[in-house]
Structure 1
Amino acid sequence: ASITLESGLKISLPAHAPKGVFMDIGVIAAAPAFLAASGFGDCVCSSVCQVDWWMSHRLLDSFYDDGPYLLMAEDEKDVFAKAAGIRAGNPDAIGSLVRLLMLSGLGVAITGVSNHGSMGEHQISHYIDCFAHQRHPGTLHGEQVGVATLTVGRIQQGLLGRSDPPVMQPTRIDEADMQRRMGPLIAGQCLTEYRKKTLDQAGAERLNTRLATIWPELQRECAAMIRSVDEMKALLEQAGAPTSAADLGLDVDFYREAVNHAHEMRNRYSFTDIACNAGVLADFAAREA
């Protein structure tokens, strides 16, 4: 379960599954359209999550399970085909969306982790919620996830589209800057998690060796999972969801900060971490608007 600590930091903690879920589709369909669009934004990220999770597994030998993706595959196709109906409040489309969200939750119960639906893009949304404060435009988590999905998709596809693998450098941690941005308490909590995935010189060399060995193979594997940024953007637009920081009403400079630093919050290795360790994350962030 996603839990907000007393400090304001969002983390994942073990929780038991609900005994049942009861929803009135008519009520949900009649609700303001941005609510359903937020739910849609939380679904469109699946391919980005899978690429992040698979890359982490291939580089770090960490746990991976494609079960949730197999479980959701047919329902995902159905929901994406009905994207315009989400915007229109069509009960059939809303019912399909609710089912897909429930299946994603079931995936957590199967694997014991939420990685299949929450990787680099969710970290960006969490950063916004934790640190925007008075700059927060009041947007919902799923709306932010949809925008961040496009951002992480651009990072993934930008790096994977290169003939040579990125070259990892040891992680540089600026504790004073983290404390300035996050406050001392949350910065300390984040540092505990961040240090679990940071690279020293030996770690960077190990990843560079692995990348050099598997790069063409990893590119092919990820290509089979990738949904293009243009396709994801079109789906979000059909569903009436935001597709940029400007659409969210979020200060662009702060959004770029979130892209640059959200990976510091959790011990989940994503393409934002790769871009950071390769020294190119700031370049990707600067292109966001």
Structure 2
Amino acid sequence: MLLQDLCATPIPPGFSLPEEVFIHPGAGDRLGEVASRYLNPPLLVLSDENTRKAALGPMEKFSRAFSGQWREMVLSGHAHTDDPTIAEVMTEGGGIGGILAVGSGTINDIAKAAATRLGVPYLALGTAASMNGYASGIVAVTSNGLKTTLAATPPRAILLDTEILCAAPLALTQAGLGDLLSKPVSLADWWLSHQVEGAAYSELPGRIVSEAIDSILAEAAGIPARSPSALETLARAVVLSGVSMVVAGSSSPASGGEHLISHLWDMRALAAGRPLRLHGAQVGVATLITSALYQRVLSIRSPEFVPPRLWEAEAERIGAEHGPLAATVLPEAEQKHRLAAKRLEFLRREWAGIRERLVSFGIPSPDRLRKPLLEAGAPHTLAELGVSREEARQTLLNARDIRNRYTLLDLAYELGVLPDSADEVLEESGV
């Protein structure tokens, strides 16, 4: 179907979005037909050792349709979206007319980045409803140890076969729900950055995705049973969440302070040589933390604003807290610090109105957000992620440094909630 048919809210023309999205049983059987419409051979098919097996049926039909006109690159199941891997795919893809991504988060991101840099179109055959990046116009890339968000071109079409999605590992499906859980908090963060720093803001992206996310939260109990209806609803929600980012021109509608926490967990894991956890699982737990932080921040009517420290003192703190990652973190943090005094002046003057507007977002409490995670059997505690309380505390205190983007994590420092109340916030989050 056309993308617009998937969304209850009209999407204005002019955005770089997938032209067609197929979410139904047997959608993979249309792969050859859809690829013929949008891709010119020779093609590169990108998958990993797990996703290739998940899509055997559709790939057999694709192989017959494009006999001798494609080559395949199968990555390790532990591949990362980083500069060396993207460069490797680009080298393999020399002279191609398009890329077919067979997989979910990592495979889709690598294919999207490589296709954008090669200037060729790509299609996404999703094998799990595990994240909201299928339709988005961005890619989260690890570059020199730093998680960065880069602009990229979305796929021309997306195929999400619910039979394949239902057969995906349950943890991946649960991660998709966790990734979507952040919307109420990230939308508030986006409006906050608009008010405090003038970031572009529109209510349309929130409207595009709200109904779909509300629907899957209501169907969360169907996830452990692999209900086809629940998986179709989840798939629709993750696609529309990606669309909301394209319309916004940034990841802000779906990515706030909770994503910075998840990104810092990833950065530290990579630096230590540890395997990465599922992105959406981390986001779900981090959202409980930022929800608790919002409850505490919004309870303050007359804050005692904390003046910004000198940059030299902040740079010393960042060096101590981020260790080997400090060199990549410092430029982002320094850019944001330049406006610290101006931000504080604005907050002193406008806090009452800012607080009132943030309250109107109706940010759910940690208990309300935990309910769908429990129903879905998804991770909702630090222990389930293998994150210690001290690691969570340190991440809560330092995640603001890694991105030149204003979020609740910055506001909590300027209002004096952090660092002193970090332990209380973690306790109130219930993680």
Output the TM-score relative to the length of structure 2: 0.62
Cα distance change on mapping 1:202 and 1:108 into 2, 3 Å: closer
SS at match of 1:253: helix
1:206 pairs with 2:366: no
Give the Cα–Cα distance (whole angstroms) in 2 for the partners of residues 17 and 108 of structure 1: 11
Please give the secondary structure, in 2, of the residue aligned with 1:167. coil
After superposing the two structures, state which structure 1 stretch, 110-119 or 196-205, moved more: 196-205
Aligned partners of 1:85 and 1:93 also within 8 Å: yes
1:196 and 1:62 map into 2 onto residues whose CA distance is 15
Give the counterpart letter for 1:141 in structure 2.
H
Higher strand share: 2
* Deviation for aligned residue 1:55: 1.8
**Which of 341, 358, 366 pairs up with 1:222?**
358
Higher mean alpha-carbon deviation, 156-165 vs 263-272, is at 156-165
Q: Is the 8 A contact 2:165 2:231 kept in 1?
A: yes
Q: Do the aligned partners of residues 8 and 190 (structure 1) sit closer, same or farther apart at CA in structure 2, a change above 3 Å counting?
A: same
Pick which of 256-265 and 169-178 moved more. Answer: 169-178
Asked if the contact 2:297/2:417 (under 8 Å) is kept, the reply is no
Q: Which structure 2 residue ranges, 5 or more long, are not aligned?
A: 1-137
What SS does the aligned partner of 1:78 have? helix
Q: Secondary structure at the match of 2:261?
A: helix
From the superposition, tell whether residues 83 and 166 of structure 1 become closer, same or farther in structure 2 (CA, over 3 Å): farther
The residue aligned with 1:175 is 315
Matched, 1:13 2:150: yes
User: Per the alignment, do residues 252 and 206 of structure 1 end up closer, same or farther by CA in structure 2, a change over 3 Å counting?
Assistant: same
Query: Which letter maps to 1:9?
Result: L
Distance 1:5-1:32 versus aligned 2 partners, 3 A rule: closer
Q: Distance in 2 between matches of 1:220 and 1:207?
A: 13
Do the aligned partners of 1:41 and 1:145 also contact (CA within 8 Å) in 2? yes
Deviation at 1:181, TM superposition (A): 4.4
- 1:86-165 → structure 2 map (5 Å cutoff): 86-133=223-270, 134=272, 138-165=276-303
Verify the 8 A CA contact 2:139 2:152 in the aligned structure 1. Answer: no
Letter in 2 for 1:159: V
Q: Is the 8 A contact 1:147 1:245 kept in 2?
A: yes
- Identity of matched residues, %: 33
Q: Is the 8 A contact 1:155 1:284 kept in 2?
A: no
| Residue identity matched to 2:350 | R
> Hey, which of these two has a bigger chunk of helix by percent?
1
Letter of the 1:34 counterpart: A
Which deviates more, 148-157 or 270-279?
Answer: 270-279
Q: Which one scores higher on RCO, CA 8 angstroms, separation ≥ 6? A: 1
Change (3 A) 1:74 1:30: same
3-state secondary structure, aligned to 1:195: helix
Q: Quick check: 1:195 aligned with 2:195?
A: no
Maintained 8 Å contact 1:242/1:248: yes
- Could you say which residue in structure 2 is the equivalent of 1:27? 164
Deviation at 1:73, TM superposition (A): 1.7
- Residue 34 (structure 1) shift: 1.1
Letter in 1 for 2:336: K
User: How many pairs are equivalent?
Assistant: 284
Contact conserved, 1:83 with 1:238, CA < 8 A, in 2?
A: yes
Contact 2:141 2:150 in 1 (8 A): no
Q: Are the aligned partners of 1:33 and 1:88 in contact in 2 as well (CA < 8 Å)?
A: no
Give the Å deviation of 1:46.
0.2
Task: Give the TM-score normalised by the residue count of structure 1.
Answer: 0.90
Q: Is the 8 A contact 1:147 1:242 kept in 2?
A: yes
Partner Cα separation in structure 2 for residue 202 and residue 94 of structure 1? 46
Contact 2:257–2:408 at 8 Å: present in 1 too?
Answer: yes
The superposition leaves residues 163-182 of structure 1 with CA deviations (integer Å, 9 ceiling, x where unpaired) of: 22451421455434433444
Residue ranges of structure 1 left out of the alignment (5+ in a row): none
- Matched with 2:180 is 43
Q: Radius of gyration: which is bigger? A: 2
Cα distance in structure 2, aligned partners of 1:218 and 1:56 = 11
Coordinate RMSD, CA, aligned = 2.1
